[in-house]
């Protein structure tokens, strides 16, 4: 699994369902790395995409806050998978 994230000095990743930064080269790099792969995102991130639709040519999975299992390292469980 690879995590791709852009944060500000306070570790924020977005504000009001928008990206903090809109850098064309970064968006192209993200697209190249994720095309044909699974992308896990939260509900608000999914809703912030154009039309509230998953990114094209990727399998999108929406994570949940509720952890699966009882171990302290439990991972969020995807609530749905959309294949495009």
Lowest mean pLDDT among 25-29, 36-40, 41-45: 41-45
Q: What is the pTM of this model?
A: 0.62
Structural contact between residues 79 and 62, judged by C-beta atoms closer than 8 angstroms: yes
| Average per-residue pLDDT for the chain | 77
- The answer to whether 39 touches 66, Cβ cutoff 8 Å, is no
Give the separation between CA 43 and CA 39, rounded to whole angstroms.
Answer: 12
CB atoms within 10 A of CB 61: 19
- Residue 81 has a pLDDT of 43
Q: What is the DSSP code (8-state) at residue 30?
A: H
């Amino acid at each position: 699994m690879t995590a791709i994230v852009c944060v500000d000095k306070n570790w924020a990743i977005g504000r009001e369902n928008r990206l903090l930064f809109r850098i064309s080269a970064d968006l192209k790099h993200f697209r190249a790395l994720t095309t044909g792969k699974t992308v896990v995102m939260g509900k608000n991130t999914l809703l912030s995409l154009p039309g509230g639709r998953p990114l094209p040519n990727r399998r999108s999975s929406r994570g949940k806050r509720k952890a699966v299992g009882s171990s302290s390292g439990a991972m969020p469980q995807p609530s749905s998978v959309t294949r495009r």
